[in-house]
A and B are shown apart, each in its own frame.
Chain A
Amino acid sequence: MKRLLLAAASGGLFGLGLMVSGMTNPAKVQGWLDFLGDWDPTLAFVLGGAILPMFLAWRYAEGRRPALGGSFPAKPDPVIDRNLVLGSAMFGVGWGLAGLCPGPAMASIGYGNPHVWLFVASMIAGMAVTPWTRRKLDALPAKG
């Protein structure tokens, strides 16, 4: 029960943070990506502000265990594979096109804009077909 409450509190704080920071407004995200147009630096402050508490949290976590039991996730091997690069590139193209990434899209479901709902439904459909896409990609030769 404690795990569920803390998860809900964390999700809630995340959603409110996205709202306060302005990141649920696609125009602001696109403003950050518009380096050659009317550039908006806000996202840098958001990312910087978010990384700071997490940097401290990772330091604190060293040699400790999570408060509600279990263990901290191991640091992934520093392997840069095709799926990481290809997936991030695809994500970036979609991000630039709509100005929405998964967190802010979810956080703005309650804004009542059907265009957000269409994006979220498409994103979920994309996630649903990814295991199949991944199998197809992994079947291709490593250098293709």
Chain B
Amino acid sequence: MYMDWVYGLVGGLMIGGAAALFLLGNGRIMGASGLIGGVVDGSGRGNLGERLAFLGGLVGAPLIAVLLRGGPPETELTGNAAALVAAGLLVGIGTRLANGCTSGHGVCGISRLSLRGIVATAVYLAAGAVSLYVFRHMLGAV
């Protein structure tokens, strides 16, 4: 849509600002999969409070925004339950195996010119494009 790139850029600056705040204040990498995964598998016991506070803000701030504006923004997600379960499992296992996702490897890794972040981002972008091509244009599933 027209002007979407402005919202993208402003939202992006907010995301980077959040990551900079977490880094310069708490000394921590803002990686969503790592922060969630450490709670789920118990590896983040040492700083559980900080993780839960971050996740509380991540879930809570958009929820408050939804309540204030009287509804969620328009989104479009597949309703295919099998696809959602498969995608969730792949994202959960994949990001934990790779030690990062779009925020950790993409935003925090690329910005410090980390080779692992750059390679991970190249791989998941390529895999995502191939996946979408197969599921949308070949199978018509999503």
Q: Are B12 and A50 in contact (CB under 8 A)?
A: yes
Flag if A118 contacts B88 (CB, 8 Å).
yes
Of the candidates B88, B108, B116, the one whose C-beta lies within 8 Å of that of A120 is B88
Assuming the contacts A21-B12, A49-B16, A122-B87, asked whether A107 and B62 have C-beta atoms less than 8 A apart, the reply is yes
Contacts of A89 in B (CB 8 A): 94, 123-124, 127
User: How many interface contacts (CB-CB < 8 Å) are there between A and B?
Assistant: 485
- Provided the pairs A10-B18, A22-B4 are in contact, do residues A122 and B75 lie with their beta carbons within 8 angstroms? no
Q: Across the interface, do A7 and B57 meet the contact criterion of CB distance under 8 Å? A: yes
A57 close to B24 (CB less than 8 A)? yes
CB-defined contacts of A116 to chain B, threshold 8 Å: 77
Specify the chain A residue showing the minimal Cβ separation from B59: A109
Question: Using Cβ atoms and an 8 Å threshold, which residues of chain B touch A99?
Answer: 77-78, 142
Residues of B within 8 A of A9 (CB): 21, 57
Contacts of A57 in B (CB 8 A): 19-20, 23-24, 111
Q: Please determine whether A84 and B142 come into contact, CB atoms closer than 8 angstroms.
A: no
- The digit string for B105-132, where 1 denotes a CB below 8 A from any CB of A, is 1111011101110011101111111111
Q: Do residues B21 and A85 form an inter-chain contact, with CB atoms below 8 A?
A: no
A16 and B16 contacting across the interface, CB-CB below 8 Å: no
* Chain B 75-97 per-residue mask, 1 if CB under 8 angstroms from chain A, else 0: 11111010111111111111111
When each residue 75-87 of chain A gets 1 if its CB lies under 8 Å from chain B and 0 otherwise, what string results?
1101110011111
Nearest CB of chain B from residue A114's CB, rounded to whole Å: 9
Closest to A21 in B: B11
Residues in A with CB closer than 8 Å to B110 are 47, 51
Please state if B72 and A111 are interface contacts (CB–CB under 8 Å). yes
CA A78 to CA B128, docked complex, whole Å: 23
A53 to chain B minimum Cβ distance, whole angstroms, is 4
List 16 additional A-B contacts (Cβ < 8 Å) besides A66-B28, A111-B75.
A10-B25, A17-B13, A20-B10, A24-B73, A54-B20, A54-B108, A75-B112, A88-B119, A90-B93, A90-B97, A91-B98, A95-B127, A122-B89, A126-B90, A126-B91, A127-B36
Q: Which positions in A face B, CB cutoff 8 Å?
A: 3-28, 30, 33-37, 40-58, 60-61, 65-73, 75-76, 78-80, 83-103, 105-113, 115-116, 118-131, 133-134, 137
